Amino acid sequence: MKAYETSERYAGKLRECCNYAARTAKVFAQGSNNTKRQPCGEDEKLLASNLKEDLSKFCDTVVEENFAADQKAYILSNLLVAIFMILSIAMTICSYFIELQATLFLVIAAILALLAFLAFFGAFGGTSKDVTGVNVLATRNPKAEVKNRIIIEANLDAPFKRTMKPHTARALKTVSFIAIILYLVLDIIELMIANDQLVFDGSTLVIYLAFPLAVLAFIPFALSRSVIAGSSFPGVVDNLVGCYTAAGALRYMSEMDLRLENTELCVLLTGAKNANLSGARTYCKLHAEADAAVDTTIISLYELYNAESISIITNGKKSTDLLAVAAANADVTISNNNPKYIKKNGSAKIFKKNKYSVATITSLKDPTPVYLGTADDTVENINISAIESAMKLVLEAAYAKDSK
């Protein structure tokens, strides 16, 4: 059976559930309690509570699962990069003024530059575990034995409030990375020159590069100061639509009194996406083994703002084939977008790492919209047609899985 064959009222009821998703997302976005929806913030937990209450009407079980998140890892890693870079360049400059100890200073400078390199990739971010996040998992049981599982996933949190645009931050982060490499190269070259292992015209002048390079050490410091860990942008919509679209799909199943034969239909709302995807990581740690016992597919919903640019990113033949059938049955046109942002930042990369069959439904394309992650991500980006396309896709995917 196909989802659209489940009732003569399918089209009308589905639209009603889409209206619920759009309306409720808009109400929350414009409410006074949408200023601290950053990872593990009080408004992220309020959203989880609201959705848990709604899902309890549509599902058989709804549970919360808590976890610890590195909410300030981004800030900490950038601060450490700045500290290591400043100390590295200071040691290099000291080698210029104290020639008798030049080798020692340059060795220390190289080690500090290497530590900056490691900090850049978050090697020391684990020390910032100081906040508690929450996942919500809702389940609607099938009629008979569970042989398959479809999990509709979306993230609850919004990005941290920032004082600079995401594109600016990414550009500065790139410059910061280049600076670290320059520090390492400079220290190694200076160390070889100081020990007469490298001689060339002008080699004695290389040390002067340390003085202008010192300015670059303050870029990661500026990046760390650009993030306000205690709040998100007021009114931001960021993936509210994904959360309520998932809930809307279960609302359709509940209000039409429908159950799949052997497929358990779940909604997973993960917290702290913007804190190293902590919610998705926690879910996998707790459930990956049990999910592997049945044929499980996770369908992530992210940034559904334009029905004309709906695309599906999958991680293998199983999910590709399933969503291809779903798209045909739902009569939804799929774009050929393959946004890099999803691969780098989406929950799917964690699920893929834990050997799940996973697909992401999104409106994103390259380049990403300029409003993404900023205060301009407002209710104007809520699109009922995009919600309808995504809801049709997840329902058809569930019925296609159940029909196998």
Task: Look at residues 178, 208, 225 and tell me which one is the last residue of a structural domain.
Answer: 225
Query: pLDDT tens, 133-169?
Result: 999 999 999 999 999 999 999 999 999 998 888 889 8
| Beta-sheet pairing, 295-302 with 263-270 | unpaired
pLDDT score of 129:
62
Strand 311-314, strand 295-302: pairing:
unpaired
Q: Report pLDDT digits (tens) over 291-325.
A: 999 999 999 999 999 999 999 999 999 999 999 99
Q: Which SS3 state, helix, strand or coil, does residue 235 take?
A: coil
- pLDDT for 351 beyond 70: yes
Q: Nearest 5°: CA angle at 21, between 16 and 22? A: 95
Same domain, 248 and 280: yes
Higher pLDDT pick, 44 / 196: 44
What number of H helices and E strands is found in the chain?
13, 9
Asked if the model's pLDDT at residue 280 lies above 90, the reply is: yes
Asked if pLDDT for residue 272 goes beyond 90, the answer is yes
Ordered strands of the 311-314 beta sheet: 61-69, 131-140, 263-270, 148-155, 295-302, 357-362, 311-314
Token pair of 158 as six digits: 């919004």
Selection from 361, 271, 353 nearest residue 324 by Cα: 361
**Residue 185 corresponds to which tokens in the numbers above?**
């190269």
pLDDT digits (tens, 9 = 90+) for 362-375: 999 988 888 888 88
Q: Looking at the predicted structure, is the pLDDT value of residue 93 above 80? A: yes
Say what the pLDDT of residue 128 is: 60
CATH number of the domain at 54, please.
Answer: 3.40.630.10
Residue 370 vs residues 123, 153, 178, 269, 275: alpha-carbon distances, Å: 30, 24, 25, 25, 21
Q: Is the pLDDT of residue 245 over 90?
A: yes
Percent of the chain with pLDDT over 70: 99
Residues 170 and 236 in one domain: no
Q: List, as one string, the DSSP characters of 268-316.
A: EEE--TTTTTHHHHHHHHHHHHHHTTSEEEEEEEE----GGG-EEEESS
Are 68 and 80 part of one and the same domain?
Answer: no
Residues 120 and 147 in one domain: no
Count structural domains, the chain. 2
Task: Answer whether residue 46 shows pLDDT above 90.
Answer: yes
Residue written as tokens 């996933």? 153
Burial of 255 (0-12, 13-18, 19+ CB in 10 A): middle
Residues 30 and 118 in one domain: no
Residue 127 reports pLDDT greater than 60: no
Do 391 and 313 share a structural domain? yes
Burial class from Cβ neighbours inside 10 Å (0-12, 13-18, 19+) for residue 369 reads middle
C-beta of residue 221 within 8 angstroms of C-beta of residue 79: yes
Mean pLDDT, the chain, as a whole number?
Answer: 92
> What DSSP designation does 208 have?
G
Do 141 and 277 belong to one domain? yes
What pLDDT sits at residue 256? 97
Domain co-membership, 263 together with 398: yes
120 pLDDT higher than 70: yes
Q: Last residue of some domain: 182, 198, 225?
A: 225
pLDDT for 44: 96
Q: Are residues 23 and 94 in the same domain?
A: no
pLDDT at 199 over 70: yes
Comparing CA positions, the residue from 306, 342, 376 lying closest to residue 165 is 376
- 44 and 172 both lie in a single domain: no
Task: Please say which residue of 225, 249, 274 terminates a domain.
Answer: 225
Identify the weakest region by mean pLDDT among 202-211, 324-333, 380-389. 202-211
pLDDT > 80? residue 399: yes
Q: For the residues 66-73, what does the mean pLDDT come to?
A: 84
Would you state the pLDDT for residue 146?
96
Query: Do 102 and 141 share a structural domain?
Result: no
CB contact set of 350 (below 8 Å; sequence gap of 6+):
277, 280, 281, 284
Domain that holds residue 265: 3-72+130-161+232-403
Note the pLDDT of residue 185: 93
Do both 142 and 259 map to the same domain? yes
Select from 268, 270, 272 the least CA-distant residue to 250.
268
pTM over 0.95: no
3-state secondary structure of 41: coil
Question: Quick one: average pLDDT of 354-365?
Answer: 96
